[in-house]
Structure 1
């Protein structure tokens, strides 16, 4: 890195703490900027490395700083934590970010374009709506259980049985409870209607996107899973190989090795939990009908299920699907089933 200056920025809503290190790691200066003063200050600086944590607003600011001629690096916050010295404050956080960038061992997070953020927005909003759907359904079931009425699990059963419960006159529900339940049910219907719009929009975008169409050629991957994978992995070039992508998603064994003795446990569960859950759900769907297929991938997972059990087979298949997705995204290839 030579004598190149590294500026670490600790972002906040209204102010940003900044600290600069020279090529030998010596602190050059530290300052605090209001939001409107930061970019004009960086515009007056010679080209340098500007490092930030990959948090809310970081990608927008990174694009603005990159236009000023600086080299921008974004790092996962939990990886920067190890470089912190002394007690936690804004300046120490900025110094830790600058030191992490100067060290050079951490893999930086790619800066997202506006288009990539738009694609991720649909995925994030759909995820939030699914959570609201589950919470609202559980709330309605809890209200009914307090009155001695227990409904089956699942949103389909709730939509089918709740109108019947509200119309029954001899189930012991008071007029107040009926009004409250009807309002909660209407909110649930609104959430489901909005969720259906997001599903249609993801399906429409998938039909117009060649990358997601190639991802959908994989087993267990539809419009939603393809959109989630693309939003999480981007073009995949931040990973050297497919195993690095599956490791970043937490689908490889967690190591506790020492003294030359290798000890492997369960999967590490690192990375984005929602993306990992979607890939595992797709793998479960594949395993459900794998015995009907005759290609190498399905035969392999059926043998694995017979020898290692269902859960390990699902996890191993999810690992393999992420690796295949990396090849499709990073190398631009298509999925081609290999004959058994």
Structure 2
């Protein structure tokens, strides 16, 4: 019988494969090493292949697509209900093989190499930002033990640390001054790495027409535009702007029953990084919009009268996500007067 559907449970070294025919009958259960994958699937007729969206999934998806197979990625939490027994590689591959055939299954768009490269820049920058914040907090805490207080903020570390080292040569132990100098140099190096990665992201943003288009939306800059474009890919994978906003976790959670609608706070599903960028951008728009002459009659001003500040911020982030979908899905230019 011909194999039509295959589930692959990815791993670092040993990969489990489960195949079924058009009637769902098991035709294949096999373990493969990484170097055997391409040879094995080259000899198979074009099939529907399902994988969980995890490490290396996008790489293998593009490789298998080049062989003529149809590859679909799924979030692991959507596959888990199809595991019928104790968790192991064979059971996971069988569950993936069954889940990929479900007509209501939600799939993850496959990212290209360029998208993954841009997202790698963002992840690396995010890591350096976290390390820089941790180093700043450590410096601030060590100095507080010596009675020296530095206000919050990265800029205060850069300004005050050289002065403290110069003034404290006679009042603080030499070993402590040497440690401060070492930690200060580490902090400067982390800050330098963040700025260099931001320049790389800015260069990619300026060379991409779609990213420049998104940056015209108030509350979306080079970082947000490039991250959204690299994560979303083809906006037509989403049926509507609301579906994109739901994918980003910017819509209310529901706890409804018996026909009674009960909406809670935002779902916070999806990518935390993208949602954070959108919300911070919306917060910046609210901060400066009150000083504009056209603010009084705007949609935002009317919203601020009805709801509190944080709800207005999330509502604006939600609206921006829907605008992003409209611009990308219909290839339009942003018009600031439309829907104001």
TM class by shorter chain equals over 0.9
Alignment of 1:249-264 (within 5 A): 249-264=248-263
1:25 aligns with 2:29: no
Q: What's the C-alpha RMSD, in Å, of the aligned pairs?
A: 1.8
Q: Could you tell me how far 1:149 is from its partner in structure 2? A: 2.3
Gaps of 5+ in 2: none
1:112 to 1:172, Cα distance in 2 relative to 1, 3 A? same
1:96 match: 95
What secondary structure, in the 3-state scheme, does the structure 2 residue paired with 1:332 have? coil
Query: Which shows bigger deviation, 179-188 or 115-124?
Result: 115-124
For residues 72-102 of structure 1, give each alpha carbon's deviation from its aligned partner in whole angstroms, at most 9, with x where no partner exists: 1111122212222211111111111111101
1:206 match: 205
1:173 to 1:21, Cα distance in 2 relative to 1, 3 A? farther
What secondary structure, in the 3-state scheme, does the structure 2 residue paired with 1:280 have? helix
1:176 aligns with 2:175: yes
2:61 match: 62
For residues 188-232 of structure 1, give each alpha carbon's deviation from its aligned partner in whole angstroms, at most 9, with x where no partner exists: 111111111112222222222111111111001111111111122
Q: Could you tell me how far 1:138 is from its partner in structure 2? A: 1.3
Q: Could you tell me how far 1:150 is from its partner in structure 2? A: 2.3
Alignment of 1:1-340 (within 5 A): 5-169=4-168, 172-293=171-292, 299-338=298-337
For residues 232-286 of structure 1, give each alpha carbon's deviation from its aligned partner in whole angstroms, at most 9, with x where no partner exists: 2112121011000000000000000011111000000000001000000000011
Q: Distance in 2 between matches of 1:119 and 1:330?
A: 21
Query: Which shows bigger deviation, 162-171 or 228-237?
Result: 162-171
Contact 2:169 2:177 in 1 (8 A): no
Query: Which shows bigger deviation, 112-121 or 41-50?
Result: 112-121
Contact 1:109 1:238 in 2 (8 A): no
The count of aligned residue pairs is: 338
Contact 2:289 2:295 in 1 (8 A): no
Contact 1:297 1:337 in 2 (8 A): no
Query: Which shows bigger deviation, 274-283 or 50-59?
Result: 50-59
Contact 2:295 2:301 in 1 (8 A): no
Q: Distance in 2 between matches of 1:241 and 1:172?
A: 64
Contact 1:53 1:74 in 2 (8 A): yes
So what's the TM-score if we normalise by structure 2? 0.95
What secondary structure, in the 3-state scheme, does the structure 1 residue paired with 2:290 have? helix
Gaps of 5+ in 1: none
Contact 2:3 2:19 in 1 (8 A): no
Moved over 3 A (4+): 292-298
Q: Could you tell me how far 1:297 is from its partner in structure 2? A: 11
Q: Distance in 2 between matches of 1:333 and 1:182?
A: 52
So what's the TM-score if we normalise by structure 1? 0.95
Q: Distance in 1 between matches of 2:129 and 2:16?
A: 37
What secondary structure, in the 3-state scheme, does the structure 1 residue paired with 2:17 have? strand
Query: Which shows bigger deviation, 131-140 or 312-321?
Result: 131-140
What secondary structure, in the 3-state scheme, does the structure 2 residue paired with 1:292 have? coil
